[in-house]
Structure 1
Amino acid sequence: MSTRNPVVLQQISRPEDVAHELAHALVDCWVDVTNAGGAAGFPFPPVDSDQVRPAAERIVTALDPQLSRLVVATVDDELAGWLNVRRDRDPLVAHWGTVHHVQSHTKFRGQGIGTALMTFLREVARDDMGLEQLHLAARAGVGLETFYGRLGWQEIGRWPGALRLSPNDDRDEILMVLSPL
């Protein structure tokens, strides 16, 4: 399925380039995704903007052209999805980055936003950040490994029962890599 209007993708690498409206939209998206059951960093819904805002602010303030990028997708100037990619300064591991908080807004689900974000991320990581591979951890039991697998990611391991969503709901954390970019 595709969106009716084109998806506009952009990367942001400096905190001052995140407009107030975008910062607010990031929080709103994160709240909606989490409360719809999305595995995007807040595992215990419901959440509200007061809980999510500090985490979003930490991501924005850590943006740095060498170390951290925000990748956003918009449709008709409305935030449709976003993610964060970060690398470590340590030269031992500076050749790879970690992807965090991949999410598409619930009202844009099924329209290819996640695929567009992940495809654009690959270009950003390789061409603009000079990365050679990407890593991510995904929650088992919601089909994420299938989604990422279709985009070329490989499962490289699992932490069995690493995530306890409730007393009778332990999930594996799936470790994935995309290499080469």
Structure 2
Amino acid sequence: MTLTFELDPAVDRALRDGVIALWADVSNAGGAVGFVPPVTPEEIRPALLKHLVGMADGGTRLLVGRDGDGEVAATAFYTTNGHPLMRHWVWLYTVMVHPKHQGKGYGLDLMAAVEEAARTGEGFEHVEAIRLTCRGGTGVDAFYARAGYKEVGRVPAAIRVAPGDDRDDIIMLLQLR
């Protein structure tokens, strides 16, 4: 089984519920996607609403991956850069693969779909790079390196996971052109 990817899917209740469920499952499995376990879907809902508002305003785009049952199994949100001197790159946020699908190569499939959409997707004509940040101490920076991203910066102890547990905020970049 492989995942099928769609850029800018129609946003309906099933998609919203699927993304929230995915986000909660990834967070509660220890994924570094903005929350520390335990977290409930209701706690995640405001963060998703911010993404959805960005989508409605045109500054945020969603790449969703669905499994063979049509369930939301992976996501990546792109945010355009509003600064007039930085419109040639996009931010990548909330990159997730459901825990039950991890270890099967779907994460690299997602990152390949992210890159393909940014290289060829409508509205991405002038995008030359993708930037993302990730939480240090999780090993996810090595995953992004396997997907072609290079570490270009690091802010020590910028993320406080718990008292006495501070992590670096790692900035990574993928050049497209």
1:10 has 2:3 as partner: no
Instruction: Name 1:34's counterpart in structure 2.
Output: 27
1:95-110 matches, within 5 Å, as 95-110=88-103
* Matched AA of 1:21: A
Cα distance in 1 between the residues matched to 2:105 and 2:49: 27
Q: How many percent of aligned residue pairs carry the same amino acid?
A: 35
1:168 has 2:164 as partner: yes
Local SS of the residue matching 1:30: helix
Instruction: Name 1:75's counterpart in structure 2.
Output: 67
On the 8 A contact 2:22/2:98 being kept in 1, the answer is yes
Instruction: Name 2:41's counterpart in structure 1.
Output: 49
Given the two structures, how large is their TM-score scaled by the length of structure 2? 0.91
User: Any stretches of 5+ residues in structure 2 without a counterpart?
Assistant: none
Cα distance in 1 between the residues matched to 2:143 and 2:13: 31
Cα distance in 1 between the residues matched to 2:79 and 2:167: 25
Q: How many residues align?
A: 173
* Matched AA of 2:167: R
On the 8 A contact 1:133/1:178 being kept in 2, the answer is yes
Match of 2:133 among 137, 142, 145: 137
On the 8 A contact 2:2/2:106 being kept in 1, the answer is no
How big is the alpha-carbon RMSD for the aligned residues of Structure 1 and Structure 2? Answer: 1.6
Cα distance in 2 between the residues matched to 1:168 and 1:55: 25
Instruction: Name 1:151's counterpart in structure 2.
Output: 147
User: Any stretches of 5+ residues in structure 1 without a counterpart?
Assistant: none
Instruction: Name 2:82's counterpart in structure 1.
Output: 89
